[in-house]
Amino acid sequence: MEPLPDVTDPRVIDGRKIAQSIEANVKNEVGRFTEKHGTKPALATILVGEHPPSKLYVKLKHWACKRVGIVSEDHKLPQEAKQEEIIELIETLNRRPEIHGILVQLPLPKHIDEREVMMQIAPEKDVDGFNPLNMGKMLIGREGFVPCTPKGIVRALEEFNINPQGMEVVVVGHSNVVGKPAAIMLLNRNATVKVCHVYTKDLKSHTKEADILIVATGVRGLIKGDMVKEGATVFDVGITWFDEKVYGDVDFDDVLPKVKLISPVPGGVGPMTIAILMEHTLMAARLQIGD
C-alpha cells in the first residue's frame, strides 16, 4: 500500500477517516438488518481480465465487505471473454434473490461495449449507479443509486460543512463514471457548474475560477499551483500507476499552499468510494426485501 498523506495538516481531507465513519454506520445497520431478516446483504463483483489496478480495486471492495458484514462473491472472467458471456452472468445474478448488488469492475476490455453491459444490470441491484435508469433519475434530481465516487465527494463536502449552493464548480474530465455524474450532483445542489475535458481550450482560465475543483482525467500532475484559485477546495480523483506507485491528477505539493481543502492520492476519494459502495449494497438489500 502507498504511504498515507500527512493528514495532520487541516487542509488535507482524510478520506480513510471519513470512510471508516461510513463503514462503522453500515456495519451497525447490517447487523440490525441480518437480525431482522435472517439474511445478510450480498454483493457480487465481476472482473474481466488481468488489469492489475482493477484486481486491486476488487480486492479492496471484498475486504470492505468483510469489515462491515456483507457477503461478497467474486466472479472472474478471462480477458478474451465474449460480451454475451458477461451479459449471461449478469442475467443469472439478476435472477438470484440472495444477491442484492452487482458491480462490474471498469474498465472492461476494448472489445466489450461497456454501456451495453451496464444496461443489463437490474436497476435495483445497480449499486455502482451506471444503469441508464439510475443515471436518468439522478438527472431529474431523484438520486438513488448514483456513481459512488461523486457521492463520496458530496459526502466529504457535507463532512466539512461546505454548501456548494451558489459556488463556482469546475469539473475536469467528462466520463460517465465521475465527471458527468459529479457535475449533475453539484447542479442538483445549486452550484454553478462548468465541465472541462480534453477538447477544452485554455484549461487554466477555467480552473482558476473554481471554488470547488474536481479533477478526474488520469493525467498525472495535470493541475499545477498556478491553475488553482486561492482558498479553493480540490478533489483529486485521478489515478495513474507509474513505477508501481499511484499518482493523482493534481501536483499535490505545488497546489497545497493555495487550497482550503484538498483530497490526496492515495487516501482521499478512493476509500470514500468503497465505503459508499457498502452503503449502496445495504440500501439495495433493504429495497429488495422491503425493509
Residues known to be catalytic: 61, 105, 128
DSSP state of 285: H
Q: Return the residue matching grid coordinates 451497525.
A: 28
CB atoms within 10 A of CB 200: 15
Q: How far apart are CA 160 and CA 173, in angstroms?
A: 24
Main-chain phi, psi angles of 266, to 5 degrees = -85, 180
Phi-psi region of 173 (alpha: psi -120 to 50; beta: other; left: phi over 0): left
Is residue 46 within 8 Å of residue 86, measured between CB atoms?
yes
Buried b (16+ CB within 10 A) or exposed e, 153-186: bbbbbebeebebeebbbbbbbbbbbbbbbbbbbb
Q: How far apart are CA 166 and CA 22, in angstroms?
A: 27
Which helix (H) or strand (E) covers residue 27, if one does? helix 15-37
The three three-digit cell numbers of residue 28, written as one number: 451497525
Reduced to 3 states (helix: H, G, I; strand: E, B; else coil), residue 101 is strand
Rg (C-alpha) for the chain, rounded Å, is: 19
Is residue 205 within 8 Å of residue 194, measured between CB atoms?
no
Q: How far apart are CA 86 and CA 111, in angstroms?
A: 12
Q: How far apart are CA 145 and CA 133, in angstroms?
A: 10
